[in-house]
Amino acid sequence: MLHDWHEFFNVTATAGATLVGLLFVIVTLGAGLPTSRLSTWRALSSIRAFVTPTLVHFGGALFLSLVVLAPWPSAWPAGIILLLCGGASAAYQIHVFRMKRKLDFVALHWLDWIPYAGVPALANASLIAGAAGLIADQSFAPYAIASASTLLLVVGVYGAWDLTVWIVKNRDMM
């Protein structure tokens, strides 16, 4: 069922791995920013709320692509792994949403909640549906899994872009 999707997931895996590397470049650029304005707790909270989820999105797209590309004897093991990953990712996203709501030094515009909470929720729902479809041998499964992978990459790019813009704005204050 997934054989025809080899090239798509190969490109998705490559994009995820490349974007993880670029995220490390962005974080390195921000490493020189003075942290005197933020307490250590606030700095760690902001990293956990904004940088780590971006890394998880890119890593998730990479991982689910690798799971799909593995030469499984049937689609069932890949479906089980993806189903577990979708559930774990949904639980993690709830945790991230709560962390972002608790931050008192960041005021997100209501439109920012779409990429920070809505799109990851849609990606997780698509991954869970695709994994269940893969287990049940449904024809929509590869499309749902591909949608999840694409959404994870898009929301990761948004998070990395937001982080980059924040670094550029705050570099001027040094």
> Residue ranges of the domains in the chain?
3-171
Residue 149, pLDDT above cutoff 90: yes
| % of the chain residues with pLDDT over 90 | 56
Q: Do residues 13 and 66 lie in contact, with contact meaning Cβ atoms separated by under 8 Å?
A: yes
Residue at token pair 């993806």: 82
What pTM was estimated for this model as a whole? Answer: 0.86
pLDDT of residue 143: 97
Query: For the chain, what is the total number of helices (H) and then of strands (E)?
Result: 7, 0
